[in-house]
């Protein structure tokens, strides 16, 4: 390492030149019918060298491997992490992923309860202050009936208004509610169809349908 950068480069070039010449002689010996030294010969010198990928067999030995610009050639960038497939990603998705087990640790639930009490207390305090302010202005306070139904409420779905006993609140059903008689008739029709499908033949069913058509039923 103390020979200097230029001297080290010259010596490394000389070593590579001798290795190439050695390889040519080994190939010639094999061509003339001699032993294949490239396969059976000692390779200690080759193993001591370090080759940069894609550099056509040029090797760096000893201090040459630490020369400026050479060290960076041997530093391989870390491979990017392999991308997971959709199936592999789905393996890690469970109830905890969706937050269903957030309360299992016993930490979140007490915090939520404490915050809920605080919010409720603030809302009650705000309502009391507003109520006292209205009373101070002489405004009459009327309790809101949350069960009341407005007279102008639209009944687009054909709802039926039911009146209970005298003095009771009126309610509106926003869906068609069948009567007891309509329910019984529907059950009878369904029972007839089940019996026909069970005991009647296809010919009889066809005749029955034809008769209904003729009668306009």
Q: From residue 208, how far is each of 59, 187, 190, 196 by CA, in Å?
A: 98, 20, 16, 10
Neighbours of 64 (CB within 10 A): 20
For residue range 114-173, what is the model confidence (pLDDT) as tens digits?
999 999 999 999 999 988 888 888 776 565 665 565 555 545 444 444 444 455 555 565
DSSP three-state, residue 164:
coil
CA–CA separation, 110 and 167 (whole Å): 46
179-198: pLDDT as tens digits: 888 888 989 988 888 877 77
4-18, 92-106, 160-174 — most confident range: 4-18
**Domain edges within the chain:** 5-74, 182-215
Say which residue, 108 or 46, is predicted with more confidence.
108
């Amino acid at each position: 390492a103390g020979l200097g950068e230029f001297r080290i480069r010259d010596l490394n070039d000389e070593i590579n030149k001798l290795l190439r010449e050695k390889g040519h002689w080994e190939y010639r010996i094999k061509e003339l019918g001699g032993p294949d030294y490239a396969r059976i010969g000692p390779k200690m010198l080759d193993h001591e060298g370090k080759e940069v990928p894609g550099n056509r067999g040029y090797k760096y030995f000893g201090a040459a491997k630490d020369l400026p610009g050479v060290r960076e050639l041997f530093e391989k960038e870390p491979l990017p992490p392999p991308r997971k497939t959709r199936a592999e990603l789905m393996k890690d998705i469970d109830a905890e992923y969706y937050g269903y087990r957030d309360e299992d640790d016993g930490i979140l639930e007490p915090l939520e309860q404490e915050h809920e009490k605080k919010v409720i207390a603030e809302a009650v305090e705000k309502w009391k202050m507003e109520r006292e302010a209205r009373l101070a202005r002489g405004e009459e306070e009327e309790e809101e009936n949350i069960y009341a139904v407005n007279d102008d409420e639209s009944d687009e779905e054909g709802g039926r208004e039911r009146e209970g006993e005298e003095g009771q609140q009126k309610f509106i059903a926003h869906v068609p509610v069948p009567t007891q008689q309509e329910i019984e008739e529907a059950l009878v029709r369904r029972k007839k169809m089940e019996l026909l499908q069970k005991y009647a033949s296809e010919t009889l069913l066809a005749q029955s349908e034809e008769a209904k058509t003729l009668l306009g039923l």
